[in-house]
Amino acid sequence: MSDLTDQNLDRNAPPPRKSSVGQHLRSVFIGGLITMVPLIVTIWVIMLVYHAVTFISYPAATWIVDSKLFQHLLHLPAHSVQYLAPVIAIVLSIAAIYGLGVLGSFVLGRQILNVIDRFIENLPLLKGIYSTTKQVIGVFRRGGGGSGFQRVVLVEFPGPGLWTVAFVTNEVQDSTCGTQYVTLFIPMTPNPTSGFFQMAQADAVRNTDWTVDQGIKIVLSGGLLAPNVLNFGAKSDMAKTSA
C-alpha cells in the first residue's frame, strides 16, 4: 500500500527543471551586456568631450604635425607623425583653457573678456545661445561669480504624494502678502542639465541633509545612490522663520 502511495506522489510531483542551453546563453549575454553598457557610455562621453575640446585646435595641430620643421626636430618617420595630431590638439586646448583662466584672473584680462562677452551678446543669432549657456554654467558652478544651487530639497512633483529631488536656486517674497517662495530647478534623470523650473511656497518643500554634489549623484543614478535614511518632513528654513 505504501509503495502505491509513493508512486502516486512521484507521479503528481512536478518534473525536475532542466537548464537549457538557451537559458545559459541568455543569462551570459545579459551579464555581458550589463558590463558593456557602462564602458560604451564612458567611451562615448570621452569622445564627445574630445571632439568638443579639440574641434578648434585640431586643424592647428595638423598644421604643426605636417610642418617640415616639426618632423625635422623629432626625427620621426612620416607615417608615425600623424598619430601625434590628437595629442597636440589636446595640449593646445588645455593651454588655451589655462590661458583664458589666467587672463580672467587679472583686471585687464577681465575687461577684455567683458568686451568679448558684450560683443557676442549683441550678435542677433548668437546672443540667445551664448547668454543661456553662460547662465546655465553659472548656475551649476559654485564660486567664481556663480551663485549655484543653494540646497537640495524635496517637492511634490508632478503631483501630490510624488516627491522629487529639486535644487533651490533663489528665495523671493511676495510684497503684497509677505508669502515666502522658493525658485526650484527640478532636474531630469539621467541628464541633470535639463529639467523644469517651478516656484513653490517655502512651506511646500522639505529640506534634506544632502549636499549639492550628493543630489546630482542621486539624480544621475536614478536614486541608486540615495541614502537609506532620510530626515524627511522638515519644513523649509524660510517657512520656519516666517511662521
Least confident of 28-37, 92-101, 126-135: 126-135
Domain annotation covers residue 214 = yes
Q: What is the band of 101 on the pLDDT scale with cuts at 50, 70, 90?
A: confident
Residue that finishes a domain, picked among 90, 116, 140: 140
29 inside domain: no
Total domain count for the chain? Answer: 2
User: How far is it, in rounded angstroms, from Cα 51 to Cα 110?
Assistant: 28
Question: Residue written as cell 589666467?
Answer: 102
Q: Is residue 4 a part of any domain in this protein? A: no
**Average pLDDT, stretch 192-214?**
84
Please state the rounded mean pLDDT for residues 198-208: 88
Confidence band for 8, pLDDT divided at 50, 70 and 90: low
Q: What pLDDT does 241 receive?
A: 43
pLDDT score of 243 more than 50? no
pLDDT of 220 over the 60 cut: yes
DSSP secondary structure code for residue 116 in this structure: H
pLDDT tens digit sequence for 141-195? 554 344 567 888 998 888 888 888 899 988 888 888 878 898 898 888 777 767 8
Domain carrying residue 236 = 151-242
Q: Determine the average pLDDT of the residues in 66-78.
A: 67
Instruction: Give domain status of residue 122, yes or no.
Output: yes
For residues 159 and 226, state if they share a domain. yes
Residue 134 lies in a domain: yes
Amino acid 137: pLDDT: 67
3-state SS, 1-60, equals: CHHHHHHHHHHHCCCCCCCCHHHHHHHHHHHHHHHHHHHHHHHHHHHHHHHHHHCCHHHH
Q: Please, what is the average pLDDT of the chain?
A: 76
Q: Are residues 237 and 199 in the same domain?
A: yes
Q: Are residues 125 and 187 in the same domain?
A: no
Q: Choose one of 140, 163, 197: the last residue of a domain.
A: 140
Q: Is the residue at 22 inside a domain? A: no
**Domain C-terminal end among 140, 164, 182:** 140
* 186 and 133 within one domain: no
Residue 182 identity:
V
Question: Same domain, yes or no, for 187 and 117?
Answer: no
**Euclidean distance between CA atoms 149 and 147, whole angstroms:** 7
